[in-house]
Structure 1
Amino acid sequence: MTKTAEETDIRFGVLGPLTVSAGDGSPVALRGNRLPALLTELLFHANRPVPVRRLVEVLWGDTPPKSYASNLHTYVSRLRDRGIPIDLVTGGYRITVDVADLDLLTFHAEVDAGRRAARDGDHALAARHFRQALEQWRSPELCAMDQPHLELEAIRLETERITVVEEWVDAELAAGRATEVLGRLDALVRQYPLRERFAAQFMRALADAGRRAEALEVYQRARAALVDQLGIEPGAQLRRAHDEILNGQ
């Protein structure tokens, strides 16, 4: 059986440009287009079998060569020659990676830990786990953006990242650290003017910092953006934040 990434000391990064690093930190070279495409597909489904038909589609689309099976085996062998742990399983291939060896797995593990801590009421611990999850993202330009076969996965992951940012802010606010997140929230509201949760969080952080008038101004700007760009009034969450601050709650 092929060794795991942990046993071969290989590290992978997909939350940003694709990186493959040996134990000493030196990069592992992947020439051409097909080796990166094959590896990213396996990494985005790490520790799960990927059917041969899917890998063939990734590499050749609707026009695979007659020798696709042997060609696929050749590409897998080239990855294995670089120490990358890929197993042949029933009907396909699987890369076996420890959570600590792939940033995507680390991201999900830290998010899960953060959500457990939030449910338990340990908001400081939740915030720490969410920060560690977000630190896995080296760039908003995922390696999947260079791989058409992963386009939908890239969109889904970016949506998940933004949700985790919101959960991190909630944890920080619940832990009493409104002042510490004001600068980040200001930037987030400017970057995502139609994201009502960010606006509501910014309003609460400003109010907690004693800046009630500024919090109400944030509401007016958010409402104007929603009306002008989408033709809708603010939703319940943003209205509730406005009413609570207006009433001094």
Structure 2
Amino acid sequence: MITIGMAVRDEPRFGVLGPLTVSADDGSRVALRGNRLPALLTELLFHANRWVPARRLVAVLWGDNPPKSHMSNLHTYIHRLRGRGIPIEQSDGGYRIRVDVTDLDLLTFHAEADAGRRAARVGEYEIAAHHLRRALDQWRGTDACAIDQPHLELEAARLETERICVVEDCVDAELACGKAGQLLGELDTLVRQYPLRERFAAQLMRALAATGRRAEALRVYQRTRHTLVDQLGIEPGRHLREVHEMVLNGQ
């Protein structure tokens, strides 16, 4: 018996922000053997809810040297994915996978990040931090996506940059909520991992100053400045300099 008001799900869930995963509605994992089925599925998922031309999928699967039977083979691979419960639609020129936002971690990541940024713009920092952390929780590791797939290397690099920007936005929101002390360990790790990201350095300086550790904050500035000069031949940007002045002035 179905209880009224309770959703009955029969769609799989997908993960690409980490190793590719496909989970059936009962939570069991769907196995995709070989190389071509995962490559085909990741291409469709990275363009979820949009039509992907068949010629693009052929290029993904075989590069510049497809077999004479490439269209027949492509249809076979699509049929195999459908046989595993994966909803793929076909048009004259291509294929599309329809996925709800909650059923693909990539879509969830974007939706939560957008919600967090909207909240931050109107000063609702607790709500912003909640959404931004939910966005970051979609990532299973930070080694760029389901991507032992060469055709998605550029997408993976772009997404990794976007993830870092979401981390920065989240830290700003949490600093605005007065969580400086809770962020010190995370920020120290981030500054060491990304020594050229001035925003992380500025955030660590703000957190240290907020917890009464001004001398350490000034050392972060000097260390970051030396790194920028040595590796890029540039001085710190305006924002980092402004934070440095604030710390010097005890603000």
TM-score, normalised relative to structure 1: 0.95
Matched with 2:159 is 157
Equivalent residue for 1:177, pick from 173, 176, 179: 179
* Equivalent residue number for residue 3 of structure 1: none
Matching residue's letter, 2:215: A
SS at match of 2:147: helix
What is the alpha-carbon distance in structure 2 between the residues aligned to residue 207 and residue 220 of structure 1?
A: 15
Greater than 6 Å deviation, 4+ residue runs: none
Task: Provide the C-alpha distance between the structure 2 equivalents of 1:221 and 1:66, rounded to a whole number of angstroms.
Answer: 59
Amino acid at match of 2:133: R
- Residue of structure 1 equivalent to 2:226: 224
User: CA shift at 1:9, angstroms?
Assistant: 2.6
CA contact (8 A) 1:204 1:215 kept: yes
In the alignment, the residues of structure 1 paired with residue 118 and residue 240 of structure 2 have an alpha-carbon distance, to the nearest angstrom, of: 26
Partners of 1:107 and 1:43 in 2: CA distance: 13
1:119 has 2:121 as partner: yes
Q: Give aligned pairs, total.
A: 244
- 1:142 Cα deviation from its structure 2 partner: 3.4
C-alpha contact (below 8 Å) 1:17/1:139 kept by paired residues: no
- Deviation, 1:46, is 0.3
Normalised TM-score (structure 2): 0.95
Q: Corresponding residue for 2:84?
A: 82
Aligned equivalents of 1:119, 1:195: Cα separation in 2: 22
Q: How does 1:1-249 map to 2 (within 5 A)?
A: 8-249=10-251
Q: Could you tell me which amino acid in structure 2 is paired with residue 75 of structure 1?
A: Y
Contact 1:17 1:142 in 2 (8 A): no
- In structure 2, runs of 5+ residues without a counterpart are 1-7
Q: CA deviation at 1:144?
A: 3.9
Contact 2:144/2:157 (8 A) holds in 1: no
Q: CA deviation at 1:145?
A: 2.6
Report the identity percentage: 75
Q: Secondary structure at the match of 1:93?
A: strand
Question: Gaps (5+ residues) in structure 1?
Answer: 1-5
What is the CA distance between 1:143 and its match in structure 2?
4.0
